[in-house]
Amino acid sequence: MRLSLLLFALVLAGCSRSDATKPIELGHLDPGNHDDAEFRALDLAVEELDRDSARLPLGRQVRVLHAPAGTRPEEAGAQAARFVALNRVKGLIGGDRPEQAERIGAAVQGEGVLAISPADWPGSVSPNLFTVGVAPAERGRVLAKAVLERKPHTVAIVRDPAAKSANLAADQFAADCHAAGVRVIDPDTAKSAADMVFFACPARQALDSRPNGEKVCVFGGGDADLPALRAGGAPADGFLIATAFHPDAKSDRLTAFANRYREKYGQPPTAADVLAYDALTVWVEAARRANSLDVEPLREQLLKRDQPFDSLTGPLTFADDHTARRPVFVGRVADGNFKDVRPYDPAPVK
């Protein structure tokens, strides 16, 4: 009996030593394929982490397993569950839209796995899910600042109830405009009488229902929605948008990342690249600070507001609802490009 116990203890010790040297495996729910922006950004992030041992949690390298998120939110949730149950990943990255992030959050709730999504909002709050995109309330706040500088008398809001994140941005936008003495028209039936129109709806609907003339239009969708808006060509010209990323942002980390990205892939990075990179590196940094892969120490580190994380565009902290507070860039669309860009600092976390 004693010999059996001794052998069992030696096996356990051997397994423990083996686990301590194995790479930490994270799952990535890929919205496209191995040529998409998120895959490229994560591949670059892993290369950088492996070259800098001081950034590695527990002194272990990081490996990312990729799997398609599917076309429906429930597919993302099912894939997240498979990563946890079958691959035994230590963390999850992915879900660039709130409805995907929400399903991922449900999949890891109650599990010993923490997920970070490039999305702007986690939907219903999950204790094990954080998002690094521009929070809807932050988007609404900075868009209101940009609009109020133009001194409008009346703004209209076009809403699609299904666009939940954009509607949250619209709520903050309307509150800030109202507080400044601007009349807010809601619903959109009277939009022709407004000086400006805020669109809390899909990009196609915003383009199709844009009023004629020189009226200023504001798009309330997040970074995942912006490619569809800008792909509209000339109809999108003049739209004010808010984004987490602008290529001319002044940040040493962003400049270095963009240079490495161009060198490796022959093209500039996009917002999707930046948000995926931030999601992974924030997870890794939280694990390094916690010196643990367990959910509770990771969550504790993520919620330490006196110790912000270094995103590619500036400091990032998390609010109680697990949304990010990070620098935001507001500008207008012109010929498919982003012009007259102005940075806004994040609001204090309450």
DSSP string, 169-192: HHHHHHHHHHHTT-EEE-SGGGGG
What is the side-by-side order of every strand in the sheet holding 129-131? 62-68, 24-30, 91-94, 114-117, 129-131
Running along the chain, 350 residues long, what does each successive block of 10 average in pLDDT?
A: 39 51 94 79 94 92 94 94 96 94 93 95 91 98 96 92 96 96 75 83 91 84 91 81 91 93 94 96 98 96 96 96 96 86 90
Residue type at position 278? D
The domain at 136-243+329-344 falls in which architecture?
3-Layer(aba) Sandwich (3.40)
Angle ∠(269,274,275) on CA atoms, nearest 5: 145
Record the pTM.
Answer: 0.91
Q: What is the DSSP string of 305-322?
A: TTS-EEETTEEEEE-TTS
Give the full edge-to-edge strand order of the sheet including 324-325. Answer: 309-311, 314-318, 324-325
Return residue ranges of the chain for CATH 3.40.50.2300.
Answer: 2-134+250-318, 136-243+329-344
pLDDT at 33: 62
Domain 2-134+250-318 fold is Rossmann fold (3.40.50)
